[in-house]
Amino acid sequence: MSQVFHEIEKKIISVLKIELKLTPEKLEKLTLLSPDQVRRGIEWLKHKELAIVDASTNVEYSLGKNGLESFQRGLPEKRLLDLIKNNPKDISDLQKELGSVFGPAMGLAKKNDWIDAKENKIYLKNYPSNLPGEKSLKQIGEGITSETQLDKADLASLLKRPNFLVENIVKTKKISLTKTGQSLDVTSPGSGAIDVEAKVPDVFVARTHPLKDTIDEIREIFVTLGFTEILGNMTQPSFWNFDALFTPQDHPARELQDTFYLDGISSKEIGTPEQIRKVSESHKKNWRYFWDINEAQRMVLRTHTTCVTIKHLAENKSDEARIFSLGRVFRNEKVSYKHLVEFNQIEGVVVGKDASLRNLMGIQREFYKRIGITKIKFWPTFFPYTEPSLQTMVYNERLGKWIELFGMGIFRPEVTKPLGITKPVLAWGGGIERIAMLKYGLDDVREFYNNNLNWLRNVTKCQ
């Protein structure tokens, strides 16, 4: 059976039959193929056991700062010897002449007994016929740089000198044909067809990040359910992140170890005078403490997206609304398999005169169903801004465990009244990475940010 070869393979084989062993770069020159074609051709031939690739590492030298100077002006000791070759010279003159290389030159010349010193004068004793290192210096300067081409002993003396040589480790590949490869006749008729089954290199097309896909999917679900997306700032005055949400100023969530504060930065305009007055009254009356505006003015990296929805509601006071917000939030927590210092949240509210807890649970069920989660239950919990407050628990089949997902509830009158919101508000929110972990079967949230190319390239997009 005659083998079928690609044009690229034929060119590579023909060249290697004559040249025997070549680097990919040489192959490119001789075949006039592109680097990528040569790379592919080599892969195909290797796969068919017609070619082999020898990889080797080689040390190459180039001249360092002092090496270059010596290459141009001569080795320091040579310069010294030449200066006193005909007449002895004063030390001070030599120092002036040789500058910084005077010391090393004198050291070497004395050690080798080439010079003598008498009354501040330096005399020549013997002029060596060859100076160690001189030959290698010349060769490297002229482009003979590979360790294998240089004289070992001579090179060693150069290597001892500071900043003379720079060592470069160079990896080279050499391609040659196997015995079978050598015996091929690629010029014979019949070898021109294309082997459609030949192996080609893997090509990785650009794809969106799996987390981004989850974000887009969630956004799409809420849009289809009739919700409108709103955006907010990642930095917020504490007022919107905490105070407007009836979170007292001594609440543990507001402490430094839970929240990132923008050091020394306070917001001048946190809200309208009426909003500030009414929110502060709500705190004073219900929590019974001294409410401090300075605390409310401190800027934070938002710890949840609830600040975005509450601000929007306070500014719009709609009697009916379906709104969602999506984005990055920040918490000063220890990073672990389930916690990151920054992550993404999805947050939603429904405002309506008849909105009820039952509706809220129905919306959650619908959302989870659309994302592919059906085994869920609701659990009572606490948030300073909702009453009643619930937590969705979803069942993770793989781990055989119930895990917490969204927090939710109906905004308390202590939150809505001061801001002029008159109709009931159903609100919920939670981490997107948690959902993505379920979708992609990950046990460690850090995986999303590790940039593990293997995972990113191979993760199944439609789970």
If the CB atoms of residues 9 and 243 are measured against ligand PHE, the closer one turns out to be: 243
Among 31, 306, 344, 364, binds ligand PHE (CB under 6 A): 306
Q: Choose one: 170-178, 196-204, 250-258, 422-430; the region binding ligand PHE (CB under 6 A).
A: 422-430
Among 105, 321, 408, 442, binds ligand PHE (CB under 6 A): 408
375 phi/psi in degrees, rounded to 5: -90, 95
Are 332 and 304 in contact, with CB atoms under 8 Å apart?
Answer: no
- Residue 67 as a binder of ligand PHE (CB under 6 A): the answer is no
Mapped onto helix, strand or coil, the DSSP state of residue 285 is: helix
Among 383, 392, 394, 433, binds ligand PHE (CB under 6 A): 383
- Residue 304 as a binder of ligand PHE (CB under 6 A): the answer is yes
Among 61, 428, 440, 448, binds ligand PHE (CB under 6 A): 428
Residue closest to 69 by CA, chosen among 79, 82, 59: 79
- Within 343-372, the residues that bind ligand PHE by CB under 6 A are 347
Residue closest to 4 by CA, chosen among 186, 180, 178: 186
- Residue 181 as a binder of ligand PHE (CB under 6 A): the answer is no
Residue 131 CB partners (closer than 8 Å, separation 6+): 75, 77, 78
- Residue 254 as a binder of ligand PHE (CB under 6 A): the answer is no
- Residue 301 as a binder of ligand PHE (CB under 6 A): the answer is no
Q: What is the rounded CA–CA span in Å between residue 364 and residue 337? A: 26
- Residue 232 as a binder of ligand PHE (CB under 6 A): the answer is no
Residue closest to 330 by CA, chosen among 322, 339, 317: 339
Q: How near is the Cβ of 329 to ligand PHE at its closest, in Å? A: 7
Q: How near is the Cβ of 435 to ligand PHE at its closest, in Å? A: 14
Tokens of 314: 């306070």
If the CB atoms of residues 76 and 409 are measured against ligand PHE, the closer one turns out to be: 409
Are 427 and 348 in contact, with CB atoms under 8 Å apart?
Answer: yes
Residue 83 CB partners (closer than 8 Å, separation 6+): 89, 94, 97, 98
Element (H, E) at 136: helix 134-141
Element (H, E) at 365: helix 357-371
Q: Choose one: 236-244, 290-298, 404-412, 413-421; the region binding ligand PHE (CB under 6 A).
A: 404-412
Are 324 and 346 in contact, with CB atoms under 8 Å apart?
Answer: yes
Q: Choose one: 199-207, 219-227, 272-280, 425-433; the region binding ligand PHE (CB under 6 A).
A: 425-433
Q: Choose one: 94-102, 226-234, 405-413, 415-423; the region binding ligand PHE (CB under 6 A).
A: 405-413
- Residue 227 as a binder of ligand PHE (CB under 6 A): the answer is no
Residues that bind ligand PHE (CB under 6 A): 304, 306, 347, 383, 386, 407-409, 427-430
